[in-house]
Amino acid sequence: MMNVLQPTGDQVRALRDRATGQPIAMLNLLKFKDRAQYEDGRITDLSGRDAYKLYAQAFREIMEPRGVSIIYGGDVRGLLIGAGDDLWDEVALIQYPSTQVMLDMLRDETYQAAQQHRAAGLEGQLLIECGSSAAF
């Protein structure tokens, strides 16, 4: 498993190619830095989690008017099935009205400006695209 912060061009194209016009959900697995580290070198007392909270607030302000909703967000407490130590700090499940709404977000200048807090706060992230299923 590779833990990175930005999708590759191939990953964005694959997301676009899977688009159905139906809503999608993104499962976010988040690992925070102990201390926020901004790319511009600014001095800050923020924890990684606190910097990410600044990003999350901006995300809501930008994306909720576009129909995006945060279905769930919470701390990881432990594993019930599987093995691993200290994998993730927090999870979130975010629903987008369509893949296109997410793709448009990635190009939005206001969203791109908010990403400074995301990058400063996260050690790594997995973002897993989910579609509807008849199994549940």
Task: Give the pLDDT of residue 66.
Answer: 97
* Location of structure tokens 């809503």: 23
Q: Write down the pLDDT at residue 9.
A: 93
Residue 112, domain CATH: 3.30.70.100
Instruction: Read off the pLDDT band of 1 (50, 70, 90).
Output: low
- CA gap 54, 117 in Å, rounded: 6
Residue 84 belongs to some domain of the structure = yes
Is the model's pLDDT at 4 over the cut of 80? no
> Which segment of 5-9, 57-61, 72-76, 118-122 scores lowest on mean pLDDT?
5-9
Contact yes or no for 17/100 (Cβ under 8 A): no
Residue the block writes with tokens 């909270």: 53
pTM: 0.90
Residue 65 falls inside a structural domain: yes
| Res 24 pLDDT > 70 | yes
The token pair at 84 is: 């691993």
> Is residue 58 included in any domain, yes or no?
yes
Flag whether pLDDT at 64 surpasses 90: yes
Residue 8 lies in a domain: no
Domain annotation covers residue 72: yes
Is pLDDT of 135 > 70?
Answer: no
What local confidence, expressed as pLDDT, does residue 5 receive? Answer: 81
Beta bridge partners of residue 127, listed in sequence order: 28
Residue 105 corresponds to which amino acid?
A: M
Quick one: pLDDT band at residue 121, thresholds 50, 70, 90? very high
Q: Are 68 and 11 in contact (CB under 8 A)?
A: no
Total number of domains in the chain: 1
What pLDDT score does 2 carry?
60
Q: Is residue 28 situated within a structural domain?
A: yes
pLDDT at 17: 95
**Is position 91 within any domain?**
yes
Any domain includes 14: no
Find the DSSP H helices in 68-136.
Answer: 99-107, 109-121
38: burial class by Cβ within 10 Å (0-12, 13-18, 19+)?
Answer: middle
CA 65 to chain centre: 18
| pLDDT class of 123 with cuts at 50, 70, 90 | very high
Domain that holds residue 111: 23-130
Check: CB of residue 125 under 8 Å from CB of residue 91: no
